[in-house]
Structure 1
Amino acid sequence: MGTNQNAQILKPATAAKKLGIYLPATPESFQTEPITRAVFLDLQENPPAWLVELRRSGPHPRDVVARKLGVSTSGLARAEVTDALTTAQIQELLQTLPAWLVQERAVHAEVQAENARVNARNAERRARAAESE
């Protein structure tokens, strides 16, 4: 790899994903201009007012909405939540707890528990295999 990281260019969609923001809600200049690694790092370290506000109020991308609601992105799709949601809309859902959200949170918790069980089992197997070598 070269030592000049500043020469790397990110597409706006990639930069938005890495920043955890919803691309269509960003300023036009952000959506149309390729972003250098230096500019991206500056956005992370010294976010402009529009980025701070977008992170605070939204609209948020699906993965952020899912995380804030405690469900998977698949759960959002099953509930037919296709639009980006604002922080206020997310808070309203968390306060009213519609039936689909309660159900998807339970499903998500089960999946996470199963993943934790499988990971623990696999770690135990690796430890036993390492001991027998």
Structure 2
Amino acid sequence: MTEQTMKPATAAQKLGVYLPATPAEFQETPLTRTQLNEMLETPPEWLVELRKNGPHPRSVVAGKLGISNAGLARGGITEALTTEEITALLQSPPEWLVEERATQAQVRDEKIRLREKAAQKRK
């Protein structure tokens, strides 16, 4: 029985990297779960470098900025960013980023409040 494979885009998402920045061989070859696990355990140099410096996929950029993917879009960020670009945004945050981080904090606070309320009801 052959092992199931995943598309390169799925593998890139699971590895947290931006697919167009990966080597051509990675982009063109489906990976097995075993190969993916090997890459997670002992990442090749290109993977280490991509995770460290980017460019990073939108979900990683949003996480590093502390905002949602939707907030990223509202801020006009549609492309992958490097670690250097993310750091520059965090050091001198534009108004949209300040607003989105505040919105994200409110959402987190509300989730906590609702979770605590639900826990009280269960008691």
Q: Under TM normalisation by the shorter chain, which class is it?
A: over 0.9
1:57 to 53, 57, 70: 53
Segments of 4+ moved more than 3 angstroms:
none
Q: What CA distance in whole angstroms lies between the structure 1 residues aligned with 2:116 and 2:28?
A: 45
TM-score by length of 2: 0.95
For residue 98 of structure 1, the aligned residue among 85, 94, 97 is 94
- Find the partner of 2:112 among 108, 111, 116: 116
| Deviation of the 1:123 alpha carbon | 2.1
The residue number in structure 2 matching 1:77 is 73
Unmatched segments (≥5 aa) in structure 2: none
Query: Helix, strand or coil for the counterpart of 1:7?
Result: coil
Using the size of structure 1 for normalisation, the TM-score is 0.88
CA deviation after TM superposition for structure 1 residue 97, in Å:
1.0
- For 2:44, the equivalent position in structure 1 comes to 48
Structure 1 gaps, min length 5: 129-133
Identity %: 54
Aligned residues: 123
Summarize deviations over 1:51-81 as a string: whole Å, max 9, x none: 0000000000111101101111110011110
